[in-house]
Structure 1
Amino acid sequence: MQLTDALDELIQSGHINPVLAMRVLNEFDKAIATNLGKNVKAKSQLKGHLKDYRLCEEVWTFRVRNATLKLDNSEILDVDKVKIVACKMAEGSSK
């Protein structure tokens, strides 16, 4: 959210235009997807109450309330809300 807030502020102040902001967000999304796929090997467990879920244009969205996240290093996080967004991997991508 910080990136979108910063970009909105730059648009409002006239420093950048909305087209540039969208390009920045697209590049950010590509970089995150690439690096998560290559560099992150950690696993976690999630337990909680599924509030709702949906599938729209091959993108799954899950919203979980009163969740407990158990991380690889045995750290346990209790959180009020978790939103998971998952999409199909691009063709030609490796796991």
Structure 2
Amino acid sequence: MIASLLAAAAVSIVPTPVAQPVVTQVKDVQPQIAEALLSCMVKRDGGLTACSVQSEFPAEMGVGKAALTMASQFQVELMGPDGKSRAGSFIDVPVRIRIR
């Protein structure tokens, strides 16, 4: 009888595994914006040349270098808001890149 009580106690002590719900955390992912400010000279055709990076954020992403690479494709209005030609003058060119 003692042996059967011990066997019954041993069986009842073994915990039954309980299924735990799988918890998945979903993060709200927002696109990031990287920014660079270039200083460029306006050519006679409205294109840009002699560009340099004045600032960039975040610095470790290389957005300034990317903006410099794209700058040769930019066209600006040759006439400034004052009605004078911008050719030969330097302008600030803000560049914003959305990263998904």
Q: Which TM-score bucket, shorter chain as reference?
A: under 0.3
Decide which structure has greater helix share.
Answer: 1
How does the TM-score come out when normalised to structure 1? Answer: 0.28
Decide which structure has greater strand share.
Answer: 1
Q: Larger RCO: Structure 1 or Structure 2 (Cα < 8 Å, ≥ 6 residues apart)?
A: 2
